[in-house]
Amino acid sequence: MREVIRARGHEHVSAEHASTFEVTSDDWLTPAGDCILAIEADRTPADFDPAFVEACQSHDATIIISVRVETDETTHEQTVSGRGHPDLSFEGDRSIVFRTSDYVDDRTGAVGTQHAAAGFDRDLVSALAAGADLTATIEVE
């Protein structure tokens, strides 16, 4: 099962956060938002299929987040895996957050991720800071 979110970068994307990365439906970003990869997301967790949500609500679920960033010159792709959790509700209506920790709230899309925003390739981050489009494909196994 999979869910897809499309969003765009912003000049303040820095991707320096050490424990989370996020995609938001907000249309703005301040320099303090160092976990945010993209803004103006076309979907939020509250839009996800109930069957997808249920599949993620297991400690045994593997959640794979594939981030694709396209510019006129090139395409950057990076995949991050994490785990499901029984408390994942996917009720957030503004953003989705992927966490290296086991903390869960209504915005959490996966816990125990391999890395956070700081772990993304710097060329990918630079493309987002220049306003490139992002596609995040979230799959659960």
Mean pLDDT of 14-19: 98
Distances in Å between the Cα of 55 and the Cα atoms of 3, 28, 34, 118 are 12, 32, 30, 28
CATH class of the structural domain 2-140: mainly beta
Dihedral sign from CA coordinates of 16, 17, 19, 20: negative
Res 59: pLDDT: 95
pLDDT-derived band at 125 (thresholds 50, 70, 90) equals very high
Distances (CA, A) of 98 to 6, 22, 75: 16, 6, 22
Span 135-141, average pLDDT: 98
Average pLDDT estimate for 74-91 = 98
Residue 69 pLDDT: 98
